[in-house]
Amino acid sequence: MAHNCVSMNLASSQVKKYSNHFPDKADSMDNILDFSLEDMALAVRNKEIKSVQLVQGFLDRIEKVNKPLNAVVLSNAEQALKMAAKADTELANGNLQGPLHGIPMTIKDSLDTKDTITTWGTTGRADFRPGRDATVVTRLRDAGAILLGKTNTPEFTLWFQTDNLVYGPTRNPFDTDRTPGGSSGGAAAIIAAGASPFDIGTDTGGSIRLPSHFCGITGIKPTTGRVPCTGNALPSAGLIAPLSQPGPMARYVADLAYLLPLISGPDLIDPFAVPATLDDSRFVDIDSLRIAFHTDNGIKTPMSEITGAVNGVVQLLADYGVSASEARPDGIEMSNFILGRIFAADGGEMVEALLEDCRTDSPSPKIQETLIRDQTEIDQREFAQIITLWDNFRSSMLAFFDDFDVLICPVNAHTAIPLGELEDMLNYTYTSAYNLTGWPGAVIRAGTDDHGLPIGIQILARPFREDYCLAVAAWLEARLGEFSKPQIHSV
């Protein structure tokens, strides 16, 4: 496949890119498990460690931390060890499958895996095996990655907390009385706990970026159309399909840069996926970027620690002679209204169809709320007005890039909230606004609140300039240094 060859070559060229940012290649297994993906892949390739050792090491970590978190909800341990042994044999025979040869991964349970139950968080699929991988999963396996297990998601990914009637709630590794966020909360929690090197999340209103913020990891929502949504719980066709994007979640920005080329490009199934150049973030000159920031989007004022984290990053840039101007896009104040009307525009048809297709008789309370909320029918005139309003919003927001290349802002108005707490949806406009525009957005940790919870910041750029997001994120990551890790005690 031409697509995979291009991605593999690009990723392979990046293997030594960030080597000096991460732990020295010493002797202990724990140290190797904390390598960046590039260094881990290089260690396997150079036969410094076997894939079986890596897979077993991460399985041991999952066993140690997962019980209080409930992040990995389905184990693929037996098959993973078999695939790792096969990878070691292949390498011994001189056959390198790809840039992730023998590297373990977890995958969000909203993404289909042909050999492993995929529930989408709904009871009708509690024992369902799709028989076909999601496109992103196929591409990662083709690159040599090995599935350790599936990570928890709310039903059909439609909640900012990770809980469902199949597996129950996932908990935040920094405080198990709090949510890791949603919908990619299982992925974020297990990565933050150090028990998975990477996962693929999906983001329709902030579902990669919010859990990354709540759990102190890094993640990127690519531009709409960059990565196919084929095989995800939410359909890749229909009114809200352009809101969703799969994207990598990991421990280091370098890992995102390593993974994104492997999953990008059209699959000739998802009608929104397009062939677009993916520029290399190594060649971005930070000094040349016109950087904007804001601490308040004009919809919901964040808690003071979040404002402080954004201002701290701006000051860090200034200390190195990189200036940033305070600004926010015109029209952003309309985002919450527009998103609400779009989700209600089909009168609940999409959710009803998902429940019927999955043979789910008992939807979760959140899905029941969604159905009640969205049952109001709208006429043809109002539907047409909603589409026009959305298009005009995207156009108005794009004008921001006449003056700027990058925008730094909060990810949410709060850090991780207690499990089950009723959300103020205005807090989530810091992410959902950019699902409406389709812009790429990366998240890195930039601070800690008074309760010891992580604070992330969001780095946004114009469509298809993920390289800007990743370059600024990597620059900041290197200078912000390491933050405290969660202390998890098995129960």
pLDDT digit of tens for each residue in the chain (491 aa)?
333 332 223 333 333 333 334 445 444 788 999 999 999 999 999 999 999 999 999 999 999 999 999 999 999 999 999 999 999 999 999 999 999 999 999 999 999 999 999 999 999 999 999 999 999 999 999 999 999 999 999 999 999 999 999 999 999 999 999 999 999 999 999 999 999 999 999 999 999 999 999 999 999 999 999 999 999 999 999 999 999 999 999 999 999 999 999 999 999 999 999 999 999 999 999 999 999 999 999 999 999 999 999 999 999 999 999 999 999 999 999 999 999 999 999 889 999 999 999 999 999 999 999 888 877 778 899 999 999 999 999 999 999 999 999 999 999 999 999 999 999 999 999 999 999 999 999 999 999 999 999 999 999 999 999 999 999 999 999 999 999 999 986 54
Per residue, the 3-state secondary structure of 105-137, as one string, reads EEEECCECECCECCCCCCHHHCCCCCCCCCHHH
| Predicted pLDDT of residue 464 | 98
Tell me, yes or no, whether 491 lies in a domain: no
**Partners of 218 in the beta sheet?**
250
| Predicted pLDDT of residue 12 | 32
Query: Known catalytic residue: 183?
Result: yes
**What range does the domain containing 134 cover?**
2-480
Give the DSSP H/E element, type plus range, for residue 187: helix 185-192
Listing DSSP states for 345-390 in one string gives TTTTHHHHHHHHHHT-SS--HHHHHHHHHT-----HHHHHHHHHHH
Tell me, yes or no, whether 360 lies in a domain: yes
| Predicted pLDDT of residue 22 | 42
What's the token pair of residue 70? 């409930």
Tell me, yes or no, whether 371 lies in a domain: yes
Contact (Cβ atoms closer than 8 angstroms) between residue 209 and residue 201: no
Query: Known catalytic residue: 264?
Result: no
| Predicted pLDDT of residue 30 | 81
Per residue, the 3-state secondary structure of 6-39, as one string, reads HHHHHHHCCCCCCHHHCCCCCCCHHHHHCCCHHH
CA angle 431, 436, 438 (to 5 degrees): 90
Query: How many domains is the chain partitioned into structurally?
Result: 1
Tell me, yes or no, whether 221 lies in a domain: yes
Tell me, yes or no, whether 488 lies in a domain: no
> How far separated are the first and last CA of the chain, in Å rounded?
47
CA angle 192, 193, 198 (to 5 degrees): 55
Give the DSSP H/E element, type plus range, for residue 220: strand 218-221
Cα(484)–Cα(447) distance, rounded to whole angstroms?
Answer: 10
Q: Does residue 28 come out as left (phi exceeding 0), alpha (psi in the -120 to 50 range) or beta? A: beta
| Predicted pLDDT of residue 26 | 45
Contact (Cβ atoms closer than 8 angstroms) between residue 153 and residue 110: yes
- CATH number of the domain where residue 146 is located: 3.90.1300.10
Name the catalytic one among 7, 207, 264, 335: 207
Backbone angles phi, psi at 384, to 5 degrees: -65, -40
Contact (Cβ atoms closer than 8 angstroms) between residue 88 and residue 51: yes
Tell me, yes or no, whether 99 lies in a domain: yes
Tell me, yes or no, whether 421 lies in a domain: yes
Closest CA to 117 of 94, 168, 146, 151: 151
Give the DSSP H/E element, type plus range, for residue 410: strand 406-410
Tell me, yes or no, whether 288 lies in a domain: yes
* CA of residue 290 relative to chain centroid, distance: 26
Name the catalytic one among 7, 36, 110, 183: 183
pTM metric for this prediction: 0.94
Name the catalytic one among 17, 108, 150, 300: 108
| Predicted pLDDT of residue 15 | 32
| Extended beta strands in 154-217, E state | 198-203
Cα(103)–Cα(83) distance, rounded to whole angstroms?
Answer: 10
Backbone angles phi, psi at 62, to 5 degrees: -60, -45
Cα(177)–Cα(205) distance, rounded to whole angstroms?
Answer: 24
Query: % helix / strand / coil in the chain, to the nearest 5?
Result: 45, 15, 45
| Predicted pLDDT of residue 128 | 98
Cα(118)–Cα(74) distance, rounded to whole angstroms?
Answer: 9
